[in-house]
Amino acid sequence: LAKITQPISMDSYEGQEVNITCSHNNIATNDYITWYQQFPSQGPRFIIQGYKTKVTNEVASLFIPADRKSSTLSLPRVSLSDTAVYYCLVRTSRTGFQKLVFGTGTRLLVSP
Amino acid sequence: EAGVTQFPSHSVIEKGQTVTLRCDPISGHDNLYWYRRVMGKEIKFLLHFVKESKQDESGMPNNRFLAERTGGTYSTLKVQPAELEDSGVYFCASSYDRGGSGNTIYFGEGSWLTVV
């Protein structure tokens, strides 16, 4: 299984762009990269998923280089409510089988 | 639409006792997963049901843990007898399809277990 490392914590200010990079050196060919957000006393909530290059949705962008050994979650113009733990995950999927491998999580603190 | 619901949200039991955690997945989701985070560790996979069948239980730590999903609807995770190291938060999750990458996995709020 992929070993996933990410920074323990990051600080930012309202309105700034935040980029969180994750390393997943052992990612397999069929694995996808997924990011989840977690607030205290809540379950992880899906943010974005990608396989390669760039994926963008209404809340974030995900950048994945060609070798797929790392990925970067980009949060544009963060607000105080974006203070949370962000998990980088590798998702292994094949017919009838799915598993998420969680990273250690990055605690993002957004200040006024 | 209701999300993944878990019960109880918090539980405090003594070492050696039994606890049963329940998970109700999102209606129509064949896939149901259990994950947990124990103190100071990452969130880790326990097992995966497809309907009522255990597809993958490679993450179950030992035979004190028993998961069931009778009828392919809700699931229970029983810990018997509970040990101190079982303290942590147990997450249930569910998803729709049996494979592929496009289906989102939704998590419940977690059941927080403290063994004293």
**Residue B5 reports pLDDT greater than 80:** yes
> Which residue's entry shows tokens 């990051």?
A10
Put simply, whether A45 touches B (Cβ < 8 Å) is: yes
Rounded Cα distance between B109 and B5, Å, is 7
Residue A79, min C-alpha distance to chain B (Å): 23
Give the dihedral sign, CA A2/A7/A8/A12: negative
pLDDT single digits (tens) B38-88: 988 899 999 999 999 998 999 999 999 999 998 889 999 999 999 999 999
Whether residue B43 and residue A87 make contact (CB cut-off 8 A), yes or no, is yes
- Chain B positions contacting chain A at CB under 8 Å are 4, 31, 33, 35, 42-45, 48, 50, 55-56, 91, 93, 95, 98-101, 104-110
Residue A32, min C-alpha distance to chain B (Å): 7
Three-class SS of residue B6?
Answer: strand
Whether residue B42 and residue A95 make contact (CB cut-off 8 A), yes or no, is no
Full strand arrangement of the beta sheet holding B65-68 = B5-7, B19-24, B75-79, B65-68
Q: What is the pLDDT of residue A17?
A: 97
Q: What is the pLDDT of residue B99?
A: 53
Rounded Cα distance between A20 and A1, Å, is 22
Rounded Cα distance between B33 and B86, Å, is 18
Q: What is the pLDDT of residue B6?
A: 98
Residues of B with CB below 8 A from A104's CB? 42
Q: What is the pLDDT of residue B104?
A: 85
pLDDT single digits (tens) B22-37: 999 999 999 999 999 9
pLDDT single digits (tens) A13-27: 999 999 999 999 989
Most confident of A39-43, A96-100, B9-13: B9-13
Q: What is the pLDDT of residue A3?
A: 82
| B101 token code pair | 């990458």
pLDDT single digits (tens) B82-115: 999 999 999 999 988 655 556 789 999 999 999 9
Q: Calculate mean pLDDT across residues B5-12.
A: 97
Q: Other CB atoms closer than 10 Å to residue B6's CB: what's the count?
A: 24
Q: Looking at chain B, which runs of residues are DSSP E strands?
A: 5-7, 10-13, 19-24, 31-38, 44-50, 53-56, 65-68, 75-79, 88-95, 106-107, 111-115
**Residue B1 reports pLDDT greater than 80:** no
